[in-house]
Amino acid sequence: MYQISIKENLRRIFVTNKYTKTLRPLFGLDTHIDKRGDLYNLLALKNDILQQIQMHEPRIKPTQITFTQDEQGVNLTIAYNADNAISFLKINI
């Protein structure tokens, strides 16, 4: 059976909006575009990310999620434990 990498699956989760995949409507993040970057919305985004990882990428355990902002938008960095090794993924969302 074909299995995609953890990083590729995380990228797919983070760039897919919920309800856009017909056969997997709960796959992906809620629409957080055009929302202010205040603490409430970032906490909602973090909870959404944790829920998606729990549902769609059970091979990992997230240890830290950080958000930074630059001229290109919001960057998400996630540290996670997989196979007793800490890995990092940084993506612009």
Closest among 46, 44, 12, 41 to 27, alpha carbons compared: 12
CATH, residue 85: 3.10.450.40
Residue 1 lies in a domain: no
Choose between 50 and 2: higher pLDDT. Answer: 50
According to DSSP, the β-strands at 61-70 and 73-82 are antiparallel
Question: Residue 82 domain-assigned?
Answer: yes
This prediction's pTM = 0.83
Range of the domain at 28: 6-92
2 vs 5: CA distance, rounded Å = 10
Q: pLDDT for 5-46, tens place per residue? A: 999 999 999 889 999 999 999 999 987 666 666 788 888 889
Indicate whether 26 belongs to any domain.
yes
How many domains does the chain fold into? 1
Q: Tens of pLDDT along 41-71?
A: 888 889 999 999 999 999 999 999 998 888 8
Tokens 């897919």 label which residue? 16
In a domain? residue 63: yes
